[in-house]
Amino acid sequence: MSYSHAELRKHISRLPRYLLSHLPTPLEFVPRFSKAVGGPRIFVKRDDCTGLACGGNKARHNEFLIGDALHKDADILVWGAGVQSNNCRQTAAACAKAGLDCHLVLGRGGPARGPDIVQGNLLLDQLVGAQVDIVEEMIGPDLDRRIAEQAAKYRQAGRRPYMWENSVVKPLAAISYILCLIEVLEQAAEQGINPAAVYVSSAGSTGAGLALGKQALGFTGSVRNIAPIEWPYDTRADLAAIGNQAAKLIDIDTRLESSDIDITFDHIPPGYGKVSDGCLEAISLLARTEGILLDPTYTGKAMAGLIHDIRTGKIDRDASVVFIHTGGTPALFAYAEDLAQGIPMRKLV
């Protein structure tokens, strides 16, 4: 069975939510970029413009996470990810707005070569008032353990911490991307297009929510995830499980199987958070044809994936395609050296 937009919105409206984002974000046709990649009509869903300390997908996620934290009477969030985490930057900003304290445990993911550059997301974490601890663990189970230890210390001290806990936060975050897909489909209808595909950078909640939304709404286009990272577990099964937990939270009958998740890991090399030639090409091409900034870890690689699919004939040249720009632009400044080397300055004369 499929649900109407209004029905799904009604189911979702029963959850606690704390409004943070500028919605709906624009759905913007990028004609010069579409022409430059010799492809279909490309529309960028500008989730880099969600507001909240430079925008991105986490503003949508956090509406449900902060809603849940306030509902559970938390007084501090204990969160964590990589040193240049967009998630942590937007979560810290959401805490500032909601009047909650925020303690970030950021994993360096290996011995540091030198001082951590207070730039990009790390700089913004500090500006919005989070306490930041940088640790050696990689993002994943090891860092999750450090976050849990920190939250336990707060609990012992009489505080009420809300912490990053995959089983709670991932399905809640996914729900926000069902709403994003509804927005996309409504805006596409207004602009007279029927997208053949929606592309996004994800190996987590964002993609799970879009996949669930596709199924629940009966959207016939594809939802293609370009993974920025490969987890040490079956990502298709994980996304389907997140989607199914989200479906239960909003009390709908839709269920996902691993085979419902369209994801490619081909654009991760040379590694998570490391720029590739395809990513540099995508960043430079979109910036120079449309003035839109992608980031080096997520959206640059996702756009490289879309360009690759166009060039290899996976997408019909007459089709319309939506690229969800999930943000991440503050990281550009932390990657200044890589970008300056990889994208030479233009010389007009």
Ligand X SMILES: Cc1ncc(COP(=O)(O)O)c(C=O)c1O
Q: Which stretch binds ligand X (CB under 6 A): 196-204, 268-276, 285-293, 336-344?
A: 196-204
Among 328, 332, 335, 339, binds ligand X (CB under 6 A): 328
303 binds ligand X (CB under 6 A): no
Q: Which two tokens stand for residue 320?
A: 């319309």
* Residue with smaller CB distance to ligand X, 206 or 245: 206
Q: Which two tokens stand for residue 302?
A: 């996702």
Please say whether the beta carbons of 52 and 94 come within 8 A. yes
Phi and psi torsions of 327, nearest 5°: 95, -145
* Residue with smaller CB distance to ligand X, 154 or 169: 169
Among 67, 171, 327, 330, binds ligand X (CB under 6 A): 327
Instruction: Give the alpha-carbon dihedral of 336, 338, 339, 341, to 10 degrees.
Output: 110
* Three-state secondary structure call for residue 110: coil
- The per-type count for the chain, helices as H runs and strands as E runs, is 13, 10
- Cβ neighbours around 295 below 10 Å, total: 30
Least separation in angstroms between residue 123's CB and ligand X is 16
Among 207, 243, 296, 305, binds ligand X (CB under 6 A): 207
Least separation in angstroms between residue 190's CB and ligand X is 25
Contacts (CB under 6 A) with ligand X, residues 54-73: 56-57
Please say whether the beta carbons of 81 and 106 come within 8 A. yes
87 binds ligand X (CB under 6 A): yes
86 binds ligand X (CB under 6 A): yes
Least separation in angstroms between residue 202's CB and ligand X is 3
Q: Which stretch binds ligand X (CB under 6 A): 18-26, 124-132, 203-211, 268-276?
A: 203-211
203 binds ligand X (CB under 6 A): yes
Least separation in angstroms between residue 325's CB and ligand X is 8
Least separation in angstroms between residue 159's CB and ligand X is 26
258 among known catalytic residues: no
* Residue with smaller CB distance to ligand X, 34 or 206: 206
Strand ranges (DSSP E) for the chain?
A: 27-29, 41-45, 76-82, 101-107, 131-135, 161-163, 197-201, 222-226, 262-264, 320-324
Q: Which two tokens stand for residue 337?
A: 């050296």
Please say whether the beta carbons of 301 and 263 come within 8 A. no
Least separation in angstroms between residue 212's CB and ligand X is 13
206 binds ligand X (CB under 6 A): yes
Binding mask 256-295 for ligand X (x = CB under 6 A): ---------------------------------------x
DSSP conformation letters of 142-179: HHHHHHHHHHHHHHHTT--EEE--HHHHHHHHHHHHHH
One of 2, 4, 34, 85 is an active-site residue; which one?
A: 85
Burial of 99: CB neighbours in 10 Å, binned 0-12, 13-18, 19+: exposed
Contacts (CB under 6 A) with ligand X, residues 123-142: none
Cα gap 102→79, rounded to integer Å: 7
> What positions carry a catalytic annotation?
85
Residues that bind ligand X (CB under 6 A): 56-57, 86-87, 201-207, 295, 298-299, 326-328
